[in-house]
Structure 1
Amino acid sequence: MNSSLKRVRIPLALLSLAALTAACGGSDGGSGSVSEEVTVWMYPVIADPKANADYWQSLEKAYEKKYSDAKLTIEQQPWDNRDEKLATAFSGGKGPDVVVLQPDQIPQYLANGSLAPVDGAIKGHADKFLPTALEVLSSDGKAYGAPIYHTITTTLYNKKLLDRAGIKNPPATWDDIKAAAPKLKAAGLATLDYSASNEATLNLNFYPLLWQAGGRVFSEDGKSVAFNDDKGVAALTFLTDLYEQGAVPKTAMNNVNVLADQALGKQQVAMGFTNSGRDFAVAEEAWGKENVLVGAPLTGAKQAAFGVPGALGINAKGNKEGAEQFINFMTQPDQIKSLGQATGFLSPRTDVTVPSDSPHAKKLQDALAFVVPGESSPVARQLMGILAPEIQAALTGKKSPQQALDAAAERGDDLLARQR
């Protein structure tokens, strides 16, 4: 097979309108229908644009069939600049009634009074969610996001490349990676792919290594950063040592967590450590299914993986009663299962398993045991913009790992101090 990797359209299990309508017959915890219009801002959680649009259009019809007096409008929004657009809408007293949020967005919108609790919407089944999912979406005992799906990342290996280097057991720990690097280099290959671009989220590059080292981004009380302690230095040193040896490819500097564009996708590097089910499908198409191996999350001082609940939040200035009704509908087992089949994501509920014919489904499900759903802070997004260039400086040898992390920590602590 050609080693160059093309972008492929991943076939997704998209339920028909009839199936969605039938799914609406499950218990939803409510007996009435809210007649006011509810507007939802939805993002492309389904990879295929047409499938994404068709799914939500079908769900609109199914919802309005169940609640005959309700009017549901699901507006498709792009991922690009979503924070800026949502912040502008909220500050102007407008915006949607319901919006998809990730945990690290909640503190910033909660701080300016833009979000209302979702506890009423999940009353009666709040205990059915994964504890980590609901915990990271909560503040002061109230939930501000209702999980509707859960992502998880884990290791992805190219068996053909490991075989070429004579490596029988895929590297599962930091020590394994260090030991494998010289063998892969002798075979003309890099070991571990990484995304060091300023545009790449640290949740999919440095932070998992930090958590595997036993470290944290923020202190326990959230008043200072913690990534420049000895655990943070160990994580960055592990990375810079690999980069200096050529075990992390130089192309890492331009990577933005897109498998098709990276050395891993192009079969120039043997493994990645923050890959998703979508990546596995792309790799199978390009490498051949026989060459795709999926493992457990990497282990450093501890085992950890990034995964995040995708949640629905309520605009504090919107139609809260209608928003609660829609969220209650979306968090029921039938909708969780339906959305999971369409997106390829996992269930955020402990009593619901999304059916899957993927041979890697169990590996992903097992990885949830090690999930770290990010670290919430009003400055979480801004801090990434401060830390990413310093990691680049360490990788290129302009600064030592300690110097780079200390420089970012000084600015990060200043950023946090201005929030008080």
Structure 2
Amino acid sequence: MKKRFAARAIALAVTAGLGLALTACGSSGSGGGDVSSANYTGPKVTISFWNGWTGGAAPVLVPKLIDKFNAEHKNIVVKDVPMEWADVARKMPLAVKAGKGPDVAVGHGDDIATYAAQGLVLDAGSIVKALGYKAGDFPEGLLDAGKYNGKQYAVPWSITPLGLYVNKSVLQSAGVDPNSIPTDKTSYLAALDKLKAAGVQGEWVDGYVFTGTFEFESLLWQYGGDLFNKDVSKATFNSDAGVKALTWMTDLIKKGYSPANVAQDGNINALISGKNAFNWNGVWQTTNEPLQKVDWQATAVPQIGDQKAVWSSSTHWMFMNNKGQDKNKTSAAATFVKWMNDNSADWPQTGELPAKNSVRNDPKLVQTYPHLKPFLDELPYAHYEPIAPGITTVEATITVAVNEAITGKKDAKQALDDAAAKADTLLKQNKAKYSG
């Protein structure tokens, strides 16, 4: 998961260096996107699938899914092309323009608009229709996350919400009932007070994307705020709601509930080693092997603000607009995507939730992966990535603000105001860069 977020910063820096030719003039293609049905019946083709699953997800992706798909489809061979996420994003623009990119790839929710504005992905409206997908087949708003300028460019694949990880042994040793995990501000503070009295700093807050930024964004939405305005032309994360959210986090340090200067991953490592009790972290931690040696439980993040809300990332299938793209390969890729979504029940082994409702809501999923239930329960109020070309560079300003406030370099309001000003500048630059 971390590699994906790191990849975005690297890739955007690289694509910026390629010049505006790839960003300001690209119109997304439509000629290669026609698919008549969910079952490809054309001549035998080999399709290329680019992805960044080189680690623990690889054994699930290839032997359990791609190999099985290939065995069941005599006229389609899927060639898995794994590479680091940074390499996927860096290589994609030039490869597609040269007709050497993948036929299908996976991108994050906040990558799709950038690819679409660059002309790298096909208009997938006809594909979605042919596959029979509707908005109600996925969590609310997730199919629309694949839209840009009114056109559909992607199909949902996975979701990764934040949750609260709890070391039950630490709670019990501090006199907190491990079977009554806090769900709101009052009970959460009460637990933190008991932990503090027992000499335990209950939640370690960090100033990094993992997971300080995700916690801040969850709290921002809980207090009724949002990251940007409706058309993503202005930053709004420095609203009163944003200040409340970040102040909550800095107060945890000031009041002694958290140590200062927590290192990257210091909070989850402290949970595993029994030094803290709570960690706001993503569903991907359910597969953390050292964690399995601990008496732990995952629950929904507590409602600190006025409403329930939680951050979530998402990944989506994209059909690439290669120069001279073969329509048969696009049609075969659509069959592959449909099959993968239908057969994604074991994808949680990788620490991600299947996006397709019928798969995710099957009772067998929770029976097989019981730790997933709280994350599934959060989805009705999950918030996903903002949709705008180049938005990942803008999102980085939020992490800067969180880090500056958490490390005491600036107070919450000043950090957010400064970041919002930088974000607004970047949004204006992106509008000019991608509007050609």
Shorter-chain-normalised TM-score: which range? 0.7 to 0.9
- Could you tell me how far 1:73 is from its partner in structure 2? 1.2
255, 258, 267: which one aligns with 1:245: 255
Distance 1:320 1:74 in 2: 19
Structure-2 change in CA distance of 1:88 and 1:272 (3 Å): farther
- Could you tell me how far 1:41 is from its partner in structure 2? 0.3
The one-letter amino acid paired with 1:181 is L
295, 298, 301: which one aligns with 2:299: 295
Distance 2:267 2:174 in 1: 25
- Relative to the length of structure 1, the TM-score reads 0.81
Say if 1:298 and 1:305, in contact at 8 Å, map to a contact too: no
- Could you tell me how far 1:340 is from its partner in structure 2? 2.8
User: What's the C-alpha RMSD, in Å, of the aligned pairs?
Assistant: 2.8
Tell me whether 1:305 sits opposite 2:314 in the alignment. no
272, 275, 282: which one aligns with 2:279: 272
> Which 4+ runs in 1 deviate beyond 6 A?
none
Distance 2:201 2:380 in 1: 29
Range that drifts further, 214-223 or 269-278: 269-278
CA deviations 1:62-91 (Å, max 9, x no partner) are 3xx4142x3421101223454333345346
- Could you tell me how far 1:39 is from its partner in structure 2? 0.9
Distance 1:202 1:34 in 2: 50
Say if 2:54 and 2:83, in contact at 8 Å, map to a contact too: no
Distance 2:67 2:149 in 1: 36
Structure-2 change in CA distance of 1:417 and 1:257 (3 Å): farther
Distance 1:364 1:208 in 2: 14
* 1:80-91 map, 5 Å: 80=86, 82-90=88-96
Gaps of 5+ in 2: 1-36, 432-436
Partner of 1:269: helix, strand, or coil? coil
190, 193, 205: which one aligns with 1:182: 193
- Could you tell me how far 1:295 is from its partner in structure 2? 1.6
111, 131, 151: which one aligns with 1:105: 111
More helix per residue: 1 or 2?
Answer: 2
Partner of 2:297: helix, strand, or coil? strand
Distance 1:258 1:49 in 2: 27
Say if 1:46 and 1:342, in contact at 8 Å, map to a contact too: no
Say if 1:158 and 1:292, in contact at 8 Å, map to a contact too: yes
Tell me whether 1:315 sits opposite 2:320 in the alignment. yes
Partner of 1:29: helix, strand, or coil? coil
- Relative to the length of structure 2, the TM-score reads 0.79
The one-letter amino acid paired with 1:377 is A
Structure-2 change in CA distance of 1:73 and 1:222 (3 Å): same
Range that drifts further, 319-328 or 103-112: 319-328
CA deviations 1:265-292 (Å, max 9, x no partner) are 32211112233154365365221xxx22
Q: Which residue of 2 aligns with 1:79?
A: 85
Aligned-residue identity in percent: 25
210, 224, 244: which one aligns with 1:214: 224
Gaps of 5+ in 1: 1-27
Distance 1:258 1:313 in 2: 35
Q: Which residue of 2 aligns with 1:142?
A: 151
The one-letter amino acid paired with 1:151 is T
340, 348, 352: which one aligns with 2:355: 348
Q: Which residue of 1 aligns with 2:10?
A: none
Say if 1:208 and 1:305, in contact at 8 Å, map to a contact too: yes
